Amino acid sequence: MNYTKMKFGLKKGIVGVCILGATLLFTTPLPAQTDGKSGKGLYELFSTKLPDGAQWVKDNKYVRKGGYSKKAENYIYVGAAKSPAEMTGLSIPIRENPGPGEYRYITFAWVKWGGEQIGMKFHVSEKSASQKGKKYDFTYIAGEPKDLINQLKGLDLGDKPGHWMVMTRDLWNDFGNITLTGMSFICPERRDAGFDEIFLARTQDDIRNAPKVLPSEIATAVPAVEEDDELMYDEAASDSIAADQGVQIDWGAQIKAGGTMMYPLYLLGLIALVIAIQRLITSRQGRLAPKPLCKSVNECFANGDLKGAL
């Protein structure tokens, strides 16, 4: 009798563990395949917000509603009085052949309302600062300076963007191997400047509808027109699609992302599924209890002996 109870208790314990495993399998969030919006080789430096861990140096409200297109939610606004707007808290390697968590290209939209010059500076770790980047102070500039003495130093990208302009640059080719730790958005003179849709990319193929960087020439600025409202990233369109159609999950990729540590959990979930199917089959065949026991219970119910049936 004790052996029977022990055997029955063991079975109940196994079933309980399997059910728990299945519950954890389908309720525990698996690692996502994205970093910010970098699931397709992209990393969002700014589109709607700063990356996780990044912050402004000064407690100023640099983010305003609007942006380079009608669909943009907000953008970075910098006036001459509060320039530069400095972002810190990054640690992103820029490499010639980027691996996981590393990038090479940058694409962004910027505009200068009034005045002449505009600039965007990249802060890098001292250990990674290359001589190539130091030559340009790790800065992109555009426009002709009014102040010839205190003019901005940097890699000149051409004329002032008098309206929103989308640009793509090869960061590695411009500044060498660096580790990006922050950025400064510069408006050296009145009036104001705007920056929006700033993304890092591993390859140019990760960028959509933006000017490409050719090996032998400098990328030219491209005006942001109405047809480009979706801009250059598949993710920008997929956000609105997901809201209407729900999230589409690639379970195969998610299972692989779990790694070997998740395999025991997957196995428990499979065992629980097999047991559930087996119990469903046996219940339909009346095999959950021996026939003599079923007969005895039915007789007790027929005689009104509820205690005996239990």
pLDDT at 279: 75
- Rounded Cα–Cα distance for residues 185 and 139 (Å): 10
Tell whether 267 and 198 lie within a shared domain: no
Q: Which of 115-124, 128-137, 203-212 has the lowest mean pLDDT?
A: 203-212
What are residue 202's DSSP bridge partners?
none
Residue 92 in any domain: the answer is yes
Tell whether 266 and 196 lie within a shared domain: no
Tell whether 75 and 202 lie within a shared domain: yes
pLDDT at 16: 61
Q: Which domain holds residue 86?
A: 42-209
Residue 104 in any domain: the answer is yes
Tell whether 52 and 195 lie within a shared domain: yes
- Rounded Cα–Cα distance for residues 274 and 221 (Å): 60
Tell whether 69 and 162 lie within a shared domain: yes
Residue 237 in any domain: the answer is no
Choose one of 169, 184, 209: the last residue of a domain: 209
**CATH number, residue 66:** 2.60.120.430
pLDDT at 155: 93
CB 184 within 8 A of CB 121: yes
Domain count, the chain: 2
Tell whether 75 and 192 lie within a shared domain: yes
Pick 37 or 55 by higher pLDDT. Answer: 55
Per residue in 225-249, pLDDT tens? 444 444 444 443 333 333 333 334 4
Choose one of 143, 174, 209: the last residue of a domain: 209
Tell whether 69 and 156 lie within a shared domain: yes
Per residue in 255-297, pLDDT tens? 544 555 566 777 888 888 888 887 777 665 555 566 777 778 7
Residue 228 in any domain: the answer is no
Residue 245 in any domain: the answer is no
**CA angle at residue 76 from 75 to 77, to 5 degrees?**
110
Per residue in 26-47, pLDDT tens? 444 333 223 334 446 889 998 8
Choose one of 209, 242, 276: the last residue of a domain: 209
Tell whether 56 and 125 lie within a shared domain: yes
- Rounded Cα–Cα distance for residues 257 and 32 (Å): 8
Tell whether 136 and 202 lie within a shared domain: yes
Backbone angles phi, psi at 222, to 5 degrees: -120, 125
CB 67 within 8 A of CB 77: no
Residue 133 in any domain: the answer is yes
pLDDT at 122 over 70: yes
Tell whether 99 and 195 lie within a shared domain: yes
Q: Which residues of 154-187 are buried (b: 16+ CB within 10 A; e: fewer)?
A: bbbbeebbeebbbbbbbbbebbbbbbbbbbbbbb
Per residue in 158-175, pLDDT tens? 888 889 999 999 999 999
Helix (H) / strand (E) containing 294? helix 291-302
Mean pLDDT in residue range 294-308:
77
Residue 250 in any domain: the answer is no
Residue 235 in any domain: the answer is no
Tell whether 167 and 290 lie within a shared domain: no
Tell whether 58 and 205 lie within a shared domain: yes
